[in-house]
Structure 1
Amino acid sequence: MRPLADLRILAIEQYGAGPFGSVHLADLGAEIIKIEDPSTGGDIGRYVPPYQEGEDSLFFEAFNRNKRSISLDLSTPEGRAVFEDLVRVSDAVYSNLRGDVPAKIGITYPDLKHLNPKIVCCALTGFGMTGPRSSEPGYDYILQGFAGWMDLTGEPTGPPTKSGLSLVDYSAGLVAAMALVSGVHAARRDGVGMDCDISLFDTAISMLTYPAIWNLNGDFEPQRTHHSAHPSLIPFQAFPTADGWIVVACPKEKFWRRLTTAIGRPELADDERFASFAARRRNADVLVPLLEEAFSTRPSAEWLAELRAVAVPCGPVNSVATALEDPQTAARDLVVETEHPRFGTVRQVSSPVRVGDERPDYRRAPSRHEDGPDILSSLLGYDERRITELDGAGAFGKGLA
Structure 2
Amino acid sequence: MTSQTSAPLARFRVLDISRVRAGPTCARFLADFGADVIRIEAPAGVDPNEAIFADRDSGDFQNLHRNKRSLTLNLKKPEGLAIFRRMVEDADVVLENWRPDVKTRLGLDYESLKAINPRIILASISGFGQDGPYAWRPGFDQIIQGMGGLMSVTGFPGQGPVRAGVAISDSSAGIFAAMGVLTALLEREQSGQGQWVQTSLLHSMIAMMDFQAVRYLVDGKNPVQIGNDHPLSSPMGLYYAADGALNLGASGEGNWKRLCDALEQPQWFADPEFVNEKLRVANRERLNLELNALFKSNTVAHWTELLNRAGVPSGPVYSVPQVFDDEQVKHLGVVGEVTGPDGEPLRLITQPVVLDRTPAQLHTAAPGLSEHSDQILASLGYDEAAIAALRAAGVT
TM range (shorter): over 0.9
The Cα shift of 1:44 comes to 5.5
Mark the CA change 1:346 to 1:321 in structure 2 (over 3 Å): closer, same or farther: same
* Structure 1 letter corresponding to 2:375: D
1:345-364 correspondence to structure 2 within 5 Å: 345-359=345-359, 360-364=361-365
Secondary structure (helix, strand or coil) at the match of 1:171 reads helix
Query: Are the counterparts in 1 of residues 242 and 300 from structure 2 also a CA contact under 8 Å?
Result: yes
Query: Are the counterparts in 2 of residues 122 and 180 from structure 1 also a CA contact under 8 Å?
Result: yes
Alignment RMSD: 1.8
Q: Show the counterpart of 2:283.
A: 283
Secondary structure (helix, strand or coil) at the match of 1:264 reads coil
1:46 aligns with 2:47: no
The Cα shift of 1:343 comes to 6.9
The worse-fitting range, judged by mean Cα deviation, of 97-106 and 279-288 is 97-106
What is the TM-score with the length of structure 1 in the denominator? 0.92
Query: Are the counterparts in 1 of residues 341 and 365 from structure 2 also a CA contact under 8 Å?
Result: no
The worse-fitting range, judged by mean Cα deviation, of 211-220 and 74-83 is 211-220
1:28-54 deviations in Å (ceiling 9; x for gaps): 00111001011138965532xxxx4xx
Q: Show the counterpart of 2:12.
A: 7
Query: Are the counterparts in 1 of residues 120 and 194 from structure 2 also a CA contact under 8 Å?
Result: yes
Q: Show the counterpart of 1:167.
A: 168
1:333 aligns with 2:333: yes
Query: Are the counterparts in 2 of residues 19 and 173 from structure 1 also a CA contact under 8 Å?
Result: yes
* Structure 1 letter corresponding to 2:136: S
1:234-253 correspondence to structure 2 within 5 Å: 234-253=234-253
Could you tell me the percent identity over the aligned residues? 34
The Cα shift of 1:186 comes to 2.2
CA–CA distance in structure 2, aligned partners of residues 250 and 373 of structure 1? 59
Q: Show the counterpart of 1:260.
A: 260
The Cα shift of 1:253 comes to 1.4
CA–CA distance in structure 1, aligned partners of residues 210 and 123 of structure 2? 24
Query: Are the counterparts in 1 of residues 127 and 140 from structure 2 also a CA contact under 8 Å?
Result: yes
* Structure 1 letter corresponding to 2:168: L
CA–CA distance in structure 1, aligned partners of residues 101 and 265 of structure 2? 60
Query: Are the counterparts in 1 of residues 338 and 362 from structure 2 also a CA contact under 8 Å?
Result: no
1:33-112 correspondence to structure 2 within 5 Å: 33-38=38-43, 39-40=46-47, 46-47=53-54, 52=55, 55-112=56-113
Mark the CA change 1:232 to 1:290 in structure 2 (over 3 Å): closer, same or farther: same
Query: Are the counterparts in 2 of residues 56 and 367 from structure 1 also a CA contact under 8 Å?
Result: no
The Cα shift of 1:292 comes to 2.0
Greater than 3 Å deviation, 4+ residue runs:
41-46
Secondary structure (helix, strand or coil) at the match of 1:369 reads coil
| Alignment size in residue pairs | 388
Query: Are the counterparts in 1 of residues 74 and 80 from structure 2 also a CA contact under 8 Å?
Result: yes
What is the TM-score with the length of structure 2 in the denominator? 0.93
One of 11, 16, 26 as aligned partner of 2:31: 26
CA–CA distance in structure 2, aligned partners of residues 312 and 185 of structure 1? 41
Mark the CA change 1:343 to 1:289 in structure 2 (over 3 Å): closer, same or farther: farther
1:81-124 deviations in Å (ceiling 9; x for gaps): 11011100100100122233332333221121111011111111
Query: Are the counterparts in 1 of residues 8 and 358 from structure 2 also a CA contact under 8 Å?
Result: no
CA–CA distance in structure 2, aligned partners of residues 385 and 192 of structure 1? 37
Q: Show the counterpart of 1:16.
A: 21
CA–CA distance in structure 2, aligned partners of residues 74 and 271 of structure 1? 70
